[in-house]
Amino acid sequence: MARTAEITRQTKETDITVKLNLDGTGEAKLDCPIGFLVHMLNTFARHGLFDLEVKARGDLEVDQHHLVEDIGIVLGQCFAKALGDKRGIRRTGSCLFPMDETLARAAVDISGRAYLVFDPQLSGIPLVSAGPVSGASSFQIDTVEDFWQGFSNAAGLTFHLDILRGRSDHHKIEALFKAAARAMREACEYDKRSLDLIPSTKGVLA
């Protein structure tokens, strides 16, 4: 049975629709006004082999916080819906991901208990790039934690995301997204030895 989900979240701050296929090929169709986040979501889809569609608008005249966090929430909700009762999955996954001078570590447990440990070693200084309209655009890197907090809460995950070493904030954030994607891919995969079992002594993961 296909493990897919589509969820729309509309508030006074954001309007977001996410479609997810857990068993995809890494295809991404992303319509979001924050260029760096588009880059990260594309990376997440490719390394997790998740097919992902995102259409997102938000109150960027305020700042990027609402939109980034809410995309994390809706993506997490899609994972929870697509996984269903989590029968047959491996449940846990981990990855050490090197990106040049940076080494990222991700470990996840699809436990039903939301908990995030986040140690990205970021500077807090926004990333600035060339922009098509004003000549420059920036990404508020403090919102990366908001994204993963929203994602972990909505999906019901215990997630540990750490940077072990690194210099570039861009590399640190990207390596974390890649490590997280590969950890999620491993955790969501079916375990052929226990396809009919929910991977918990409780008999339920909720």
Q: What is the pLDDT of residue 135?
A: 47
State phi, psi for 86 to the nearest 5 degrees. Answer: 70, 20
Q: How confident is the model at residue 72 (pLDDT cuts 50, 70, 90)?
A: very high
Average pLDDT of every residue of the chain: 95
- Whole-number percent of the chain with pLDDT over 70: 97
User: Which among 184, 165, 159, 137 is positioned nearest to 33, based on CA atoms?
Assistant: 137
* Higher pLDDT among residues 184 and 200, named by residue: 184
User: Which among 157, 187, 138 is positioned nearest to 3, based on CA atoms?
Assistant: 187
State the CB neighbour count (10 A cutoff) for residue 38.
Answer: 16
In the predicted model, is pLDDT for residue 116 greater than 80? yes
* Higher pLDDT among residues 200 and 80, named by residue: 80
Contacts for 52 with CB less than 8 Å, ≥ 6 apart: 18, 19, 20, 21, 24, 27, 28, 29, 30, 41, 44, 45, 75
Give 101-124 as a DSSP string. TEEEEEEEE--S--EEEEE-----
Q: What is the pLDDT of residue 19?
A: 98
In the predicted model, is pLDDT for residue 1 greater than 90? no
Q: What is the pLDDT of residue 203?
A: 78
- Chain segment 129-188, per-residue pLDDT in tens: 765 554 457 899 999 999 999 999 999 999 999 999 999 999 999 999 999 999 999 999
In the predicted model, is pLDDT for residue 202 greater than 90? no
